[in-house]
């Protein structure tokens, strides 16, 4: 089914791949053959998630594409820590609040840049349109993104180092989302599991 080598020219410019609700799907193509991929919809692919979404190497591969990739899924991997803000307010409360803008921060290790590949931003939303931004406290640079999808979703955004770089001396990054969303967590990606950064709520 996924023999991309036979027609590589068909897939090499592909930006959006929707495999939602393919409940019996257990394997996905070699994504190194899809260098332009920007959006991957895996919502409802329960068997596939058990095989791929649960392993961090899946995301480490994507972080090397050189551009952000958005993955829509049914759930988040267990190894991504929840923010305290996510735990303190129910999803129903957050989506019903018109004044609430989800915000969280992640304290960075001292030598954060060593083997750093990128980060995963995790957001849950009930809206068809979700916007978000990430910034550092040590600079004025703000990176923004947006995602459109029908209905309730768990969104993971892989932001590579080439898009949002962190350096030794950066102490904190801040993730914000639009109303009627919840910020679940941030996870830093490294070539090895040298660090296991934990997301915490911004004071």
**Residue 80 domain flag:** yes
* Edge-to-edge strand list for the sheet holding 172-177: 103-107, 172-177, 129-136, 142-148
Closest CA to 39 of 148, 179, 182, 161: 148
**Residue 200 domain flag:** no
Cβ(15)–Cβ(34) under 8 Å? no
CATH number at residue 158: 2.60.120
Compute CA distances 84 → 23, 26, 96, whole Å: 32, 33, 19
**pLDDT number for residue 99:** 46
Structural domain harbouring 111: 12-20+36-190
The burial class, CB within 10 Å (0-12 / 13-18 / 19+), for 44 is: middle
What the block records as the tokens of 200 is 């915490």
**Residue 48 domain flag:** yes
Helices (H), the chain: 8-11, 46-48, 56-62, 84-88, 91-96
Instruction: For residues 117 and 113, give the distance between their C-alpha atoms in angstroms, rounded to a whole number.
Output: 9
**Residue 91 domain flag:** yes
The pTM of this model reads 0.80
What the block records as the tokens of 146 is 């947006």
Pairing of strands 103-107, 116-125: unpaired
**pLDDT number for residue 135:** 94
**Residue 25 domain flag:** no
**Residue 168 domain flag:** yes
**Residue 28 domain flag:** no
Tens-of-pLDDT digits for all 203 residues of the chain? 455 555 556 678 889 988 888 888 777 766 777 889 999 888 888 787 666 666 677 788 888 889 999 998 888 887 776 666 555 555 455 445 544 567 888 888 888 888 889 999 999 887 778 899 999 999 999 999 998 877 667 899 999 999 999 888 898 999 998 877 788 888 888 886 544 454 444 43
DSSP state of 31: G
**pLDDT number for residue 5:** 58
Q: Total domain count for the chain?
A: 1
**Residue 134 domain flag:** yes
**pLDDT number for residue 149:** 72
**pLDDT number for residue 119:** 92
């Amino acid at each position: 089914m996924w023999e991309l080598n036979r027609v590589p020219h068909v897939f090499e410019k592909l930006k959006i791949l929707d495999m939602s609700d393919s409940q019996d799907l257990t394997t996905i193509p070699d994504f190194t053959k899809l260098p332009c991929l920007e959006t991957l919809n895996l919502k409802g692919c329960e068997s596939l998630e058990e095989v791929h979404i649960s392993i961090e190497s899946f995301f480490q591969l994507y972080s090397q594409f050189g551009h952000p990739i958005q993955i829509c899924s049914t759930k988040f991997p267990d190894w991504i820590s929840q923010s305290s803000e996510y735990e303190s307010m129910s999803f129903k409360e957050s989506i019903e609040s018109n004044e609430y803008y989800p915000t969280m921060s992640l304290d960075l290790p001292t030598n954060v840049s060593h083997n750093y590949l990128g980060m995963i931003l995790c957001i849950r939303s009930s809206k068809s349109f979700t916007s978000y931004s990430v910034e550092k406290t040590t600079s004025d640079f703000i990176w923004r993104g947006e995602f459109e999808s029908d209905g309730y979703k768990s969104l993971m955004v892989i932001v590579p180092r080439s898009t949002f770089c962190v350096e030794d001396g950066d102490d904190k990054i801040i993730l914000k989302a639009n109303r009627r969303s919840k910020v679940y967590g941030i996870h830093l990606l490294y070539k090895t599991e040298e660090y296991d950064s934990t997301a915490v709520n911004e004071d």
